[in-house]
Structure 1
Amino acid sequence: MTTTSRPPTLDPNAVSRWQRIAPLASPWLHEEVASRMQDRLQWIKLKPQAWADWGALRGGMQAHAQLAKTYPDAACFIADVHAGRAQAASKIIAKPWWNPSQWRAAPVRFEMPPPASVDMLWANMALHESADPQALLAQWHQALKVDGFLMFSCLGPDTARELRALYARLGWPPAGHELTDMHDWGDMLVQTGFAEPVMDMERITLTYETPARLLQELAELGRNFHPARFPGLRGRAWKARLEQELAAQLTGSDGRLSLTFEVIYGHALKAKPKFKVSPLSAVSVEDMRRMLQGSAGPLG
């Protein structure tokens, strides 16, 4: 996959529309995934001097507050491509200047991190909603300092497999766009320039009292970006049929409906740049400075 290619079953116009209308809130599942991702930080010895929370509002406000406690002395960038979400996050995170807790707090900047400015980039449940994930990974790579690390999570291909099977049995268009496998994410990290990617996955089963509650949860989490999805809006009769089928096919012995979410976790480092040597090579001043800084011996 190149930086200009897109996942084959993802409509970029649908992605753009969802980014504009997504609820200005942190879904429960995103907060839960963020909590589980934070558990993995205990194995990371590097203490960031600066870090970025990419898509903090949708990624989880409770998670952001916990991370701020974990790294109280680190400057933080709140990065979001959507101005409405960035503004909503600032109202929750920013403290008034007259608040004493603000006087000694590390700075929080509501802007994109400049190149090579952060030691950690945290991106919870954002990657699977990108119309160009390889380009997004490149943005993250650019924002990190050398030896900085990326922590991210996203949904995997087994997500809502019960709903996908139901749509297929009924002969309906796909219930959702295809989601990327964790091994493919690992390959894309390497292609982008990250080193030592570590990927793992778990399946979380959520249960619901009614089909209506299940559909409400899905509406809060995202949309169907598949180009072959149902065109236009469905009517009340179709929705009633869907809820009837959900109750019949997804209800377990406990009387609740079950739905699977596959969650992928990823961690990778930004390694020192490697240069291919040829008879005539051009190296920028900035790249030369990084090479010299990484040298172990004295400079002659």
Structure 2
Amino acid sequence: MTSPPQSTSSSPGPQAAAVQAHLRRAARAGVAPWLHGEIARRMAQRLAIVKTTPAVVIDWWSAQGGGAAALRAQYPRAQVEAVEPNEGLVRRSARAALAPWWSPRRWTRPAMPVWREADAPRDGRAQLLWSNMMLHWSADPALQFTQWRDAVAVDGFVMFSCFGPDTLRELRPLYRRLGWAEPGHAFIDMHDLGDAMVQVGFADPVMDMEQLTLTWADAAAALAELRTLGGNAGVQRHAGLRTPRWRARLLAELDTALAGPDGRLRLSFEIIYGHAFRPPPRVRVAAETRVSVEALRSLARAGSKPASKS
């Protein structure tokens, strides 16, 4: 039995209302962000560590993760199930999973199950749970890991990616200089995530990270792409709508502060990758064992008898 998970970080996580607003926008978007698709491609290259071929794969927040095609290509015979955070994304996942009307697969294979997060399977039947670029939206990753543990079979794998603390590091000094609140909520360090996985019962977590730099022609293009990634979900963000004057100043500041030698704007993204497996449950050993006097006498008598000849 594992102890109740403790909070993964003392820093404030994303504000629930802001996360829900982002997910409503995502349901209307129709496609996953380009960056998510690129990270899914890179994460799929790591599936070689999974030595068994899973019969059931859970794709957590599939529509925004952008990895469904990679999973189907890697495991064409597996039953892939999607878990989504709202009804709009459930419908988006279901539409994306449909084969063309003329494809035999549409008529010979059952439709991919799509679950609301609140109803996600917790019966431990998945041999692989995949979650691409979702975990940084969780207010408590330790509780998220507990959900994942309950969904995965013994010896099954969890594999995930998310933003790390150095993501958008160039924006923080700019916002401080202008007297504005932080541009986003705090992302959690990979070592804390690994510790949380062990705490809830996963074994042998392996954490890795890489730094990516994205560039844009101007600030307007950069903001448009950042909007697809979610925007500011920090609890300290401005409570109301910003004015056109504020936006114009932000664009001007970004064009100046983020320009590289070639004139293109640059922002850093720290991508964390993690995987671990669910081990068999450990048998609890009591701190104290009681043996009756009669049992000890029986053991002593048995030990004092001479061995019989064969």
Q: Which band: TM-score by shorter chain?
A: 0.7 to 0.9
SS for the counterpart of 2:261 is coil
Kindly indicate whether residue 52 of structure 2 is the aligned counterpart of residue 46 of structure 1.
Answer: yes
8 Å contact from structure 1 (residues 173, 229) kept in 2: yes
* Counterpart residue identity of residue 226, structure 2: L
Do structure 1's residue 127 and structure 2's residue 135 form an aligned pair? yes
Distance 1:26 1:9 in 2: 26
TM-score of the aligned structures, taking structure 1 as reference length = 0.87
Superposed, which structure 2 residues align to 1:224-263 within 5 Å? 224-263=232-271
Residue 66 (structure 1) shift = 2.2
RMSD of aligned alpha carbons: 2.1
Other structure's SS at 2:235 match: coil
Alignment of 1:25-36 (within 5 A): 25-36=31-42
Give the Cα separation in 1 of the matches to 2:84 and 2:250.
35
Does the 8 Å CA contact 2:5/2:196 hold for their aligned counterparts? no
Cα distance between partner residues in 2 of 1:253 and 1:223: 27
> Which of 185-194 and 270-279 deviates more?
270-279
Match of 1:293 in 2: none
Indicate whether 1:9 and 2:17 are aligned: no
8 Å contact kept, 1:122–1:151: yes
Is contact 1:73-1:105 (8 Å) kept? no
Instruction: Pick closer, same or farther for the CA change 1:113–1:26 going to 2, 3 Å.
Output: same
- CA displacement at 1:95 relative to structure 2: 3.1
> Which moved further from structure 2: 106-115 or 72-81?
106-115
Distance 1:209 1:42, change over 3 A: same
Highest CA radius of gyration, 1 or 2? 2
* Structure 1 counterpart of 2:82: 78
2:41 partner letter? S
CA distance in 2, matches of 1:55, 1:89: 9
Q: Residue 94 in 1 paired to residue 98 in 2?
A: yes
Query: Contact conserved, 1:147 with 1:272, CA < 8 A, in 2?
Result: yes
Query: In 1, are the aligned partners of 2:82 and 2:113 still within 8 Å (CA)?
Result: yes
The Cα offsets for residues 113-168 of structure 1, whole Å up to 9 and x where unpaired, read as 34111000000000001122221111111000000000100000000011112101
Partners in 2 of 1:83 and 1:124 — Cα distance?
19
In the TM superposition, residue 81 of structure 1 has moved relative to its aligned partner by: 2.4
In 1, distance between residues paired with 2:282 and 2:101?
44
Distance 1:98 1:210 in 2: 43
* Contact 1:2–1:134, Cα closer than 8 Å, also in 2: no
How far off is 1:177 after superposition? 0.8
Unpaired runs of at least 5, structure 2: 290-310
Percent identity of the aligned residues? 44
TM-score by length of 2: 0.84
Give the alignment of 1:279-298 within 5 angstroms: none
Structure 1 residue 192 displacement after superposition: 1.2
Displacement of 1:238 in angstroms is: 0.7
